[in-house]
Structure 1
Amino acid sequence: MDQEMVDIESQVIYRATVQQGAPHISHKEKCLVTLKFNDVVYKIKTKKSGLFDKNTKEEEKVILKGVSGIVEPGEMLAMLGPSGSGKTTLITALGGRLGGKLCGTITYNEKPFSNAIKRNTGFVTQDDILYPHLTVTETLVYTALLRLPNTVSKEDKVMHAKSVIDQLGLTQCKDNMVGSPYIRGVSGGERKRVSIGQEMVINPSLLFLDEPTSGLDSTTAQRIVSTLWELACGGRTIVMTIHQPSSRIYYMFHKVLVLSEGNSLYFGKGSEAMDYFSSIGFAAPALAMNPSDFLLDLANGVYTNELNEDHPIDKQKLVSAYKINIEAQLKARLEGISDLGNRVQGEFQDKGFGKWPTSWSQQFFVLLRRYIKEKKHESFSTLQIFQIIVTALIAVLLWFKSDISHLQDQIGLLFFICGFWSYIPLYQAIFTFPQEVKMLEKERSSGMYRLSSYFMSRIVAELPMDLVLPTIFILITYWLTGLKPNVMNFIYTLLSLLLHVLTCQGIGLAIGAIVLDQKTATTFATVLMLCFTQVAGFYVQHLPKFMHWIKYMSNAYYTFQILIGSQYHTGQTYPCSKGQCLIEEYPAIREMGFPDLHRKALAAIVLVIMLIFYRLVAYFALMRVGVTKNLT
């Protein structure tokens, strides 16, 4: 009866907290969550072989070995253990983000993980994955616009994001850029609170945090945990991993789970852990000792006695003691407890959400605005514009007023334009997805938006750079290098170049999405584009028959044809040793085949097909990123 009164009191405090801190998201009644995990086992397969060993053996490694526990509304559970003990694996499994061979049962108010539960769950990763050039306010507002459902107006979403800023004590830095290791921004503690704020905007019933105090000083770490303690006291269920908390932080934990090599050594109230280990023969050497230090020593197989002497211990004894003294009672409780969340608040509500919190168009425009705001300093940077203008001026100086009497030079100019604008958009596009893969994994795992809306926003956001810079380049070079001074020919040349640029961008997007490693992708793209430019028809006119197929895969081959067709026509002549020769008889053009109207149309169609094909390849390659359980 007393416990029920405490639970009801927690619920009342929780409701007051929600009403005070988040008055603008009354679109649904929050559901208190009881998290249970029973006999959780996780295995991975590893391959072992020597350098010259042909017999590769596949072994199975057990990461989690039957871990159990329960966390109720108003409680904060801390998972302690040395590196490699399985803390991050367990919290990832509890957060519904772990695939593979996972056994055991994990329930949320007696229900399995689902999209409805995911939308009531926040997950803060160990690394603060944030856009460095956005301000604190912009970061949380964009998150609110994407994660809160359509039943909440845009104005209320913005107001709610600002209330979260106030709640987490970020008011003083709300207009500062988030920053990164290379860009000056907010402090480490403020960055962590911004990461927590991104999950708090959905007013989660269940909040997971992986090492929220990692890399922070003790004072900042205490402030972070104090904030989490207040959230837990408001009725939320909070689970975190933490490596070595101070004694002040340790005593804020309602429950503690101690792990060692995937085994549970203790589960229960944090305040009772020292008494438990003392009862099984491992008393702390001093009352003033930090409990977490003592627990970690035990988890590492080291016991410090009252004389401050370290002795190695058999960790299996601790595992056996846990099974005898704690596990049986814990499992009985897991079977018998009734869920406060179901009894008082009912099941998770999915009203107003549908499959996704917002529509495709809303996701697209929010992602587009966010990406443009983050990348605007790169798209038209002074250095990039300077690079294009200088290259254009050098081309003008080299090919100034060349005419058809120097046909080889003019063809060389057309090929230079084709080659130069093969690499610029290619390398720009390659970096798009490798730089964003962590952000995509994080946001897709939380079900924030569709992959298609993300992908289209990236393509559209890159268009200004892809279209404006080549246009500037052609405006400078075309009229001063002796190319045909006709508006229609100029437009024809410009459109051909823009089609080529978009095709090269598609190749870069596909390579970047497939490889997802900048160095490897750059190397592969360089080799591929060198092959494409070498068979385009300028460097080699007489390809061996067994190499002919390569040129039909080269976008540069088709672009070069169209550019030549933009300047010359059938029956046109040029000065030669015989007097005047037909343009189609020029050796380089004759071997390639003069691009008449039919050839030019075919080349344009092939480039359009390539443009679409490579983007589809990139899209399907990205489908594997951030795909977790129940994420569609």
Structure 2
Amino acid sequence: MSSDHHQPSMQENPQDMETLPKLLSEPTHNTTVVPYPPVPSNPQSVPRPALFPITLKFEEVVYKVSLEQKGCCWDGTWSTREKTILKGITGMVCPGEILAMLGPSGSGKTTLLTALGGRLTGRKLSGKITYNGQPFSGSIQRRTGFVAQDDVLYPHLTVSETLEFTALLRLPGTLTRDEKVEQAEKVISELGLSRCRNSMIGGPLFRGISGGEKKRVSIGQEMLINPSLLLLDEPTSGLDSTTALRIMTTVKQLASGGRTVVTTIHQPSSRLYHMFDKLVLLSEGCPIYHGSASAALDYFSSIGFSTSVTVNPADLLLDLANGIAPDSKHISDQGDLHGSAEQEQKSVREALISAYEKNVATRLKADLCSLDVNNYSYNRDASARKKEQWSTSWWQQFKVLLKRGLKERRYEAFNRLRIFQVVSAAVLAGLLWWQTPVSHIQDRIALLFFFSVFWGFFPLYNAVFTFPQERSMLIKERSSGMYRLSSYFLARTAGDLPMELALPTTFVFIIYWMGGLKPDPTTFILSWLIVLYSVLVSQSLGLAFGAILMDVKQATTLASVTTLVFLIAGGYYVQQIPPFILWLKYLSYSFYCYKMLLGVQYKENDYYECPNGNLCRVIDFPAIKSVGLNNLWMDVTIMALMLLGYRLIAFLALRRVQLRTLR
């Protein structure tokens, strides 16, 4: 092949090499750090400046993950294989800049962004990440906005409600409620969401706002806290070019207010690319470029990777990150690269990594060392921020979360299907046990056992879905330091009480009188309270199952096995349980509910008409004798311990899930 197509090497371009330092250090239009940028004259259209500008530095960041176990070795230990996702990535971004992380799928962009957001910790992560020279902390967390690729929003809330509840939770308690709502209104105006402010977010089962509007709502939730550092994961994913441009224009405005913005992006258009100030290009976890976005093409051209065709810069960079040179003819002239396409791609990557180490890495490390960020007002105000643990009080968080939960579930809690299910079951059972005579004691006992079984299992299956369905939302909001786990837990469980208590109340009112049970107001009220008590215990066990497993299928399977055991050992079907397995009966809350219902319905000195016409003592009836009518307060205490114990287990399981996710 002629020398006209020979790819120039770095040694063959001394003039280009002389321009590299200038290219890599070329300042952008807004790289100057301004601790307090001027406040715009029209705050409705331009975001407020960041109060505490943050300079983000990351040095030699390495992250490894453990793959599947390969088997047991001869010495009895398990051999594991590790994969390195991030391979020594270094970089820096200052206030007022947008740093874009570009690379093909699987190159480690999202992993790096998660690490920069303080959401990736543990022994598998090494390197140094600092914020104004300080490590990640709670105060940094509350000044960091993180917009995930998937929009995690409540589907039944409107745009206005979503942002208002976020403002009430995340804005400091020094602001009044009206001031927080006003701030949410400003964000709605700034993001152009006024037209859909009263529209529901929408979900898989019903249509809501568009994808671009959802993305702007997600960004708006982070804008409310006036973040100093904004991290966005694929903000234009799944959007058309016009909508993507609007989103990035909004992000550009946020950066112009003195914020530090880091975003991952898969394949931006040329219009989006020219909005970036800095660029990090990744290839299989390795950095191959860090510097000014506008100088990227000149850099790669200077090391021998250029093209004569006018293309989108992002397309060319992605080809290089995939190991594809701009012109295949350049590859074939390098002698040792005549092999397969994989060998060619590997050689291109090795050349790019080698060039990065020689031309970029050394200068980048020198720039990091020379930058002193210890004099920012952020650090001068450290003592004041240290006292600020949470934006709002525990009680305020509880009230807002409770109100938000009731509004979100107002369409699913009192839905017609659940009401029809309970009412129809009560009416059908009432007809089957219609005015059961006192002499038919077996049927009356069966009705009481039906009470304990139905309201021992129905709430259990409903509660199993509670936390697995909200797992993504809980992780998102807890990672942002929005509220305490205890306030969320109590608000979430308290929000379910109206429906959980209203339906069994309706059920008892219908079936108790239709079934002809003891027509005494005190007995009726006690029976009703016992059913509600059983509902709360059953719900607690369902919450524990859901929180421990965090998987609906696994939790429902475990709930099915548990209900089967409790049903059999509940004291009605098997009255003489073998001693070695008798303990199962005392684990069943259905047994205690059944026993207490019998205890308020019958007394030891009550009689009933035997089949032979004589009067027999109720306590001598086999089904009652096996359960007993004494020690009812002990049963109440045991169920109270179950109620508190199951909910404590659920709470601790939620804490464990949160910690496991962040690691």
Q: State whether structure 2 residue 51 is matched by structure 1 residue 16.
A: no
Q: Please, which of 379, 384, 387 is the counterpart of residue 413 of structure 2? A: 379
Q: 4+ runs of 1 displaced by more than 4 Å?
A: 2-14, 17-23, 50-56, 306-311, 343-353, 628-631
After superposing the two structures, state which structure 1 stretch, 342-351 or 332-341, moved more: 342-351
Q: State whether structure 2 residue 158 is matched by structure 1 residue 158.
A: no
- The alignment covers a number of residue pairs equal to 623
- 1:487 aligned residue: 521
- Residue correspondence of structure 1 range 273-352 to structure 2 within 5 A: 273-287=296-310, 289-305=311-327, 312-313=344-345, 314=347, 315-339=349-373, 342=376, 346=380, 350-351=384-385
The residue type paired with residue 617 of structure 2 is: L
Local SS of the residue matching 1:581: strand
- 2:61 aligned residue: 40
Cα distance in 1 for residues equivalent to 2:73 and 2:87: 33
Shift of residue 99 of structure 1?
1.3
Contact 2:234 2:265 in 1 (8 A): yes
TM-score normalised over the length of structure 2: 0.89
Aligned in 2, Cα 1:353/1:436: closer, same or farther, shift over 3 Å?
farther
Q: Please, which of 540, 546, 552 is the counterpart of residue 580 of structure 2? A: 546
TM-score normalised over the length of structure 1: 0.94
Contact 2:460 2:538 in 1 (8 A): yes
Cα distance in 2 for residues equivalent to 1:33 and 1:14: 17
Contact 1:80 1:87 in 2 (8 A): yes
The residue type paired with residue 59 of structure 2 is: N
Shift of residue 347 of structure 1?
5.1
The residue type paired with residue 104 of structure 1 is: G
Aligned in 2, Cα 1:8/1:17: closer, same or farther, shift over 3 Å?
farther
- 1:410 aligned residue: 444
Q: State whether structure 2 residue 545 is matched by structure 1 residue 511.
A: yes
Local SS of the residue matching 2:262: strand
Shift of residue 49 of structure 1?
2.1
- 1:268 aligned residue: 291
Q: State whether structure 2 residue 624 is matched by structure 1 residue 600.
A: no
Contact 2:28 2:277 in 1 (8 A): no
Shift of residue 61 of structure 1?
2.0
- 1:582 aligned residue: 617
- 1:361 aligned residue: 395
The residue type paired with residue 270 of structure 2 is: S
Shift of residue 338 of structure 1?
2.9
Contact 1:116 1:350 in 2 (8 A): no
Q: Please, which of 506, 509, 526 is the counterpart of residue 560 of structure 2? A: 526
The residue type paired with residue 212 of structure 2 is: G
- 2:532 aligned residue: 498
Unaligned runs of 5+ in 2: 1-25, 333-340
The residue type paired with residue 15 of structure 1 is: V
Cα distance in 2 for residues equivalent to 1:456 and 1:481: 36
The residue type paired with residue 131 of structure 2 is: Y
- 2:19 aligned residue: none
- Residue correspondence of structure 1 range 196-207 to structure 2 within 5 A: 196-207=219-230
Shift of residue 423 of structure 1?
1.8
Local SS of the residue matching 1:474: helix
Cα distance in 2 for residues equivalent to 1:17 and 1:529: 65
Cα distance in 2 for residues equivalent to 1:605 and 1:51: 48
Contact 2:157 2:407 in 1 (8 A): yes
Contact 1:115 1:630 in 2 (8 A): no
Cα distance in 2 for residues equivalent to 1:19 and 1:293: 37
Cα distance in 2 for residues equivalent to 1:262 and 1:14: 39
Contact 2:36 2:51 in 1 (8 A): no
- Residue correspondence of structure 1 range 471-486 to structure 2 within 5 A: 471-486=505-520
Cα distance in 1 for residues equivalent to 2:640 and 2:328: 78
Local SS of the residue matching 1:208: strand
Contact 1:151 1:352 in 2 (8 A): no
Shift of residue 283 of structure 1?
0.9
After superposing the two structures, state which structure 1 stretch, 174-183 or 390-399, moved more: 174-183
Cα distance in 2 for residues equivalent to 1:113 and 1:260: 27
Shift of residue 16 of structure 1?
2.3
Local SS of the residue matching 2:587: coil
Shift of residue 605 of structure 1?
1.1
Local SS of the residue matching 2:280: strand
Cα distance in 1 for residues equivalent to 2:224 and 2:126: 32
Q: Deviations over 1:308-328 (max 9, x none)?
A: 999633212211110101000
Aligned in 2, Cα 1:349/1:232: closer, same or farther, shift over 3 Å?
farther
Q: Deviations over 1:220-253 (max 9, x none)?
A: 1111111111211221110001111111111111
Residue identity over aligned pairs, in percent, reads 50
After superposing the two structures, state which structure 1 stretch, 611-620 or 277-286, moved more: 277-286
Contact 2:72 2:79 in 1 (8 A): no
Shift of residue 427 of structure 1?
1.3
- 1:613 aligned residue: 645
Q: State whether structure 2 residue 201 is matched by structure 1 residue 169.
A: no
- 1:78 aligned residue: 100
Aligned in 2, Cα 1:333/1:277: closer, same or farther, shift over 3 Å?
same
Q: Please, which of 190, 195, 205 is the counterpart of residue 218 of structure 2? A: 195
- Residue correspondence of structure 1 range 412-431 to structure 2 within 5 A: 412-431=446-465
The residue type paired with residue 149 of structure 1 is: P
Q: Deviations over 1:187-216 (max 9, x none)?
A: 000000000000000001110001111111
Local SS of the residue matching 2:659: coil
Cα distance in 2 for residues equivalent to 1:629 and 1:413: 46
Contact 1:11 1:235 in 2 (8 A): yes
Contact 1:44 1:61 in 2 (8 A): yes
The residue type paired with residue 39 of structure 2 is: R
- 1:565 aligned residue: 599
**Aligned Cα RMSD in Å?**
2.6
The residue type paired with residue 398 of structure 2 is: F
The residue type paired with residue 170 of structure 1 is: L
Q: Deviations over 1:594-614 (max 9, x none)?
A: 213xx2111111111111110
Unaligned runs of 5+ in 1: none
Cα distance in 1 for residues equivalent to 2:282 and 2:32: 32
Cα distance in 2 for residues equivalent to 1:308 and 1:375: 62
Aligned in 2, Cα 1:18/1:268: closer, same or farther, shift over 3 Å?
farther
Contact 2:30 2:97 in 1 (8 A): no
- 2:87 aligned residue: 65
Cα distance in 1 for residues equivalent to 2:209 and 2:382: 36
Aligned in 2, Cα 1:195/1:353: closer, same or farther, shift over 3 Å?
farther
Shift of residue 170 of structure 1?
0.8
The residue type paired with residue 16 of structure 1 is: P
